[in-house]
A and B are shown apart, each in its own frame.
Chain A
Amino acid sequence: MRALASDLPIRFDTVTVRSRGVTILDHVTLQIEAGAPTVLIGPNGSGKTTLLRAAMGLLAPTQGRISWGGIEKSPPIRRGFVFQHPAMLRRSVAANLRYALRAARVPHAYHDARIEELLALVGLAGLDKRPARRLSGGEQQRLALARALARDPVVLFLDEPTASLDPASTKAIEDVIRAVAARAIKIVMSTHDLGEARRLAGEIILLHRGRIVERAAAAEFLGSPKTEQAKLFIAGELLV
């Protein structure tokens, strides 16, 4: 349907983000490549959300450079983002997806089939006519996932997608994330839930005070952490 331009790898070159005098990301250098899900963990205020937003292109770094597939200032055409509290457009479930498809310039002839496919993927088949704002929290999060996937992204960012959801909704979201990852869509997500990181991550990045403290394959990170902060975090101690 569309040219297969890739936004990967995403490169952070000594990226610093400051807001109102506070340093949120501090000289972060990072490369995100295709492959298994990358999960950002860390305490509140460690910079997870800001890193995701910067990687999506929603905010510009104060210092440093970010590039997508080697291109700086690349519009988010093949990137999707699911916010912790997604806004539901005041229209039906199907109309929310149709809106995203139009924004992604998917030809109208493909819309109906794509909507059906996306709703089936996220487990919302049959709810297409329901007003989006009347869905439960978990259903809204799944619709937000489907809406982000409407862009046919090569990379999908999820900011604490299961925060404040019940276990059943969390499982439903995690199942969708696995299904999306199985389609070779790069997942980059944040969570404060170490169990979720264990279940989903291919690699884990621990952030603390705006810096990357440790980055490793999930099994290695969880089995034999190298830094004191990672050991404390895995042990459930408070990182301050």
Chain B
Amino acid sequence: MHENASALQLILSGDPALYAIVRLSLFISLSALAISAVLGVPIGAFVALTRFAGRESVIVLLNALMGLPPVVVGLAVYLLLSRSGPLGSLGILFTPTAMVIAQTILVTPIIAALARQTIEDLWAEYRDELTAMNVGPLRRVTTLIWDGRFSLVVTLLAGFGRAAAEVGAIIIVGGNINGFTRTMTTAIALETSKGDLALAMGLGAALIAIVVIVNVLAWAARRVGEQIAG
């Protein structure tokens, strides 16, 4: 009970340390989500609309990559960015940039695989009409992405959920440095191990609240959009 009260007090008092961690977490997760969307949706659209040798294998691979173990991704990015690694000269290990890269690798397959399914289903419905209207390939893609936007929002939410909840990769490549690379999930792990349950619970409550708020906003946007567009 004491920890609950302290956690609530931390949130309501606007504790600067807590809110700095929340801001950094949001920055990393949303940056990774944005980059993953820019990469993943076109990849999904390409696989959905193109027939090529090995396509089925690519689909299976994309689906399998949705379950990438975060610690393995963290280890791979660490090896790439460490001083002796091929990208070590960039000097970005233990920075938020490295954390964004790791999360992007985790989230992109989720968005690509789910977008592929959404766009392929819509293409099955639209193919005859768009072909009869003599719509070109680029316009087909933009039409399918636009008309599938409400389903793609759910895809983005799945990606955001993965990024926001992730700890294994970013703790390896970020180092959990106080005030620099400490996020909600890494801080929760650290504070729990130290026995500071109040801060851990405050962060946990904030994390859950953020995920719920983002989902409610997305749901509302989807409902309003569907009312207008059908």
Contacts and interface: CB of A to CB of B under 8 A. Distances in A.
Interface of A: 56, 58, 75-77, 79-81, 83, 86-92, 99-100, 103-104, 130-134, 147-148, 151
B16 interface: no
A49 B157 CA distance: 41
Most chain A CB within a 10 A radius of its CB, from B125, B129, B132, B229: B132
Given A76-B134, A89-B147, A58 B128 contact: yes
A100 B135 CA distance: 9
B134 A89 contact: no
B147 A83 contact: no
A77 B133 CA distance: 8
B229 A92 contact: yes
Contacts of A89: 126, 129, 143, 147
B230 A103 contact: no
Most buried by A among B125, B128, B227: B128
Nearest to A134: B230
A86 B129 contact: yes
B134 A90 contact: no
A90 B147 contact: yes
Interface in B117-140: 125-126, 128-129, 131-135, 139
Interface in B180-230: 227-230
B133 A104 contact: yes
Contact of B133 (A91, A100, A130, A131): A100
B128 A87 contact: yes
Nearest to A90: B147
Given A92-B229, A103-B139, A87 B132 contact: no
A24 B59 CA distance: 32
Tell me the interface secondary structure of chain B in the complex: helix
A76 B132 CA distance: 7
Contact of B230 (A56, A80, A92): A92
Contacts of B139: 103
Give the contact-size bracket for chain B: 10 to 19
Contact of B126 (A87, A132, A133, A148): A87
B228 to A, nearest CB: 7
Given A87-B128, A87-B129, A131 B229 contact: yes
A83 B129 CA distance: 8
A91 B128 contact: no
Contact of B132 (A80, A130, A131, A132): A80
Contact of A132 (B133, B143, B230): B230
A80 B133 CA distance: 8
Given A87-B126, A89-B147, A91-B147, A58 B230 contact: no
B229 A81 contact: no
A131 B135 contact: no
Given A87-B129, A90-B147, A103 B135 contact: yes
Contacts of A81: 128, 132
A87 B125 contact: yes
